[in-house]
Amino acid sequence: MNHPPFAGRPDVLDRRVLFAVELIDPVTHSIVWQGLTVTAPDMQAKPIISRSGRFVWLVDQDAWPVTIAVDPGLTSYAAHTQPAPPRPADILAAPPAQRLTRIVLRPTVAYPFDTGATVVRGTLRERVDLPNAPVVPDATVQLAWHDALSGDWTPGRLQAGEVWPQTDANGEFAALLQLNAPPPADPDLARGLLKVRVQVTRGPATRATPDTFPFLPNAADAGRVPEGRLLPTDVTLGWNELTPI
């Protein structure tokens, strides 16, 4: 993909740059741009794409964005909108960190998870015993691992600029974690299967799948998923069947 010319070296924001946005893949942690569009709806100017893959706006008098919006197009990321950071008092003297916004994208269920993350995809409904039960959109979903030593449950860590995934308009979600548990933590692993639970927050309430949730068909593997891989079968969760935590 050919990018428009960028003022300065690829990874340096010079004084002609008003602000820049970099989009981060949540699994590979690399900068992504292809197929994605970033806009500041309240500004007339459009961004250029730097050689490093950032979306860059150049200084335009007193202009400064109010919001930043990411249109994923046909990619496997979710749409995203967030407030812009505060405008520096002196934009020409501001360090690059004050003019750079880092957004970690949320994957959709269409994301090709094949890079070492533990992933559970599925759908959240009000209940699963009724075939036409309504789906539950806009619920926050976390995948938490069990510590065999302490008994604690720990969600995957967020990167700077990252937010927890949410169910979409169809109630679908993709919850992932990349296990990083230095001693004395003791992830509950058996036969390459990690003990996990899906935690769902809806308004003020948080609920989770029970310890014996059948992620896999073998009863001996209850509550476990393949560590570092995508669960091969999507799950359907009923809000009424989740356990309050």
pLDDT of residue 4: 41
DSSP 94-161: S-GGGGEEEEEPPB-TTS---SS-EEEEEEEES-SSSTTPPB--S-EEEEEEEBTTT--EEEPPPPTT
Report field, pTM of the whole predicted structure over 0.95: no
pLDDT of residue 6: 39
Residue 105, number of CB atoms within 10 A of its CB: 24
pLDDT of residue 14: 58
User: What domains appear along the chain, each with residue ranges and CATH number?
Assistant: 17-104 (2.60.40), 118-244 (2.60.40)
Please give the chain's pLDDT, 245 residues, in tens.
344 433 334 344 555 889 999 999 999 899 999 999 999 988 888 999 999 999 999 988 788 999 999 999 999 999 999 999 998 888 878 888 888 999 999 999 999 998 789 999 999 999 999 989 999 999 999 999 999 999 999 998 888 778 899 999 999 999 999 887 777 889 999 999 999 999 999 999 999 999 999 999 999 999 999 999 999 999 999 999 999 99
pLDDT of residue 44: 86
- Closest by Cα among 197, 193, 203 to 227: 193
pLDDT of residue 152: 95
pLDDT of residue 12: 46
Q: Phi and psi (nearest 5°) for 23?
A: -105, 130
Q: And the tokens for 140?
A: 């926050």
pLDDT of residue 15: 54
